[in-house]
Amino acid sequence: MEQIILAVHLVIALVIIGLIMLQQGKGADMGASFGAGGSQTLFGSDGGGNILTKATAWLVVLFFASSFGLALLVNQRSVVDDDLGLAIPATVNAEAAVPTEEELPVLEDVPAAVTAPAGDDLPQLD
d(CA 96, CA 98): 6
The highest-confidence range among 2-6, 27-31, 47-51, by mean pLDDT, is 2-6
Rounded to 10°, the helix 49-77/2-22 angle is 150
Nearest to 22 by CA among 39, 37, 41: 41
- How many residues make up the chain in this entry? 126
- Can you give the pLDDT at residue 122? 67
State pTM to two decimals.
0.48
Mean pLDDT to the nearest integer, 32-56: 64
Q: What are the tens digits of pLDDT across the range 106-121?
A: 767 666 665 555 666 6
Q: Which neighbouring-strand residues pair with 87?
A: 81
- Can you give the pLDDT at residue 59? 95
d(CA 56, CA 62): 10
In Å, how far are 33, 50, 58, 104, 109 from 81, measured between CA atoms? 63, 50, 39, 19, 31
Type of residue found at 10: L
Q: What are the tens digits of pLDDT across the range 9-34?
A: 999 999 999 999 988 776 655 555 56
